[in-house]
Amino acid sequence: MLPKDPMILLSVVNTHLRDDCPSLDALCERLDIEREELEARLEAVGFAYDAEQNRFR
């Protein structure tokens, strides 16, 4: 289960992307969450996925 707080969610997601997952798709599969849902939750507070850096910024 992912945190509801967007700043904690950002930290958790970026940590997984940095340490465990080579892409956002791999992360979503690993955490069993829809990519669109995750992106929408983080975009709602001003963050977007940067595929080149494999992190939300």
Per DSSP, the residues of 3-40 read -SSHHHHHHHHHHHHHHT-SSHHHHHHHHT--HHHHHH
Give the whole-angstrom CA distance, residue 21 versus residue 19: 6
**Tokens, residue 52:** 């080149």
Domain containing 11 equals: 6-56
The reply to whether 1 falls in a domain is no
SS3 call for 1: coil
Is 30 inside a domain boundary?
yes
The total domain count for the chain is 1
Any domain includes 25: yes
pLDDT tens figures, 6-49: 999 999 999 999 999 999 999 999 999 999 999 999 999 999 99
**pLDDT beyond 90 at 1:** no
Whether 48 is in a domain gets the answer: yes
Q: What is the pLDDT of residue 11?
A: 98
Residue 52 lies in a domain: yes
- Is residue 27 a part of any domain in this protein? yes
- Answer whether residue 24 is part of any domain: yes
